[in-house]
Amino acid sequence: MSTQIPVSHMAFVRARAGRSAELGARLSALIEPSRNAPGCLSFALQHSQCDPELWLVSGFWASQQAMTAYFGSPAMQIFAELVQDMVVNSLDFHTFKDVSEAQALGQSQAAVHKLAG
């Protein structure tokens, strides 16, 4: 029997000048469908306190499989639409997983997933 390891994602999304309110409104549409997705433990949208153009979208998932399935869902289409509609200036997207002390000390290597735009 395999043990499922919680995983997470964080997307730092920077709005184009003058488009931050629109970006926030459109990203907020992700909150409820994402929180209701199978395997979602937590999902949040946050706005920087010191940079009015910067938003953070984060999610915590019960397993890699749940997060991967979410990435293939229609909800993720919003990121492509934001880029296409030129609302986003940059998008820095990362995934994470819990690690053991040995892994944190560099004694084990793992696959890395990163999307930056």
Domain ranges within the chain, ordered by starting residue: 7-116
pLDDT in tens, 71-85: 999 888 888 899 899
CB 13 within 8 A of CB 51: no
> What does pTM read for this prediction?
0.82
Q: For 7-116, give the CATH class.
A: alpha beta
* Of the candidates 62, 64, 55, 51, the residue with the CA atom closest to the CA atom of residue 92: 55
Average pLDDT over every residue of 96-100: 82
- Position 1 scores a pLDDT of 45
Average pLDDT over every residue of 53-73: 95
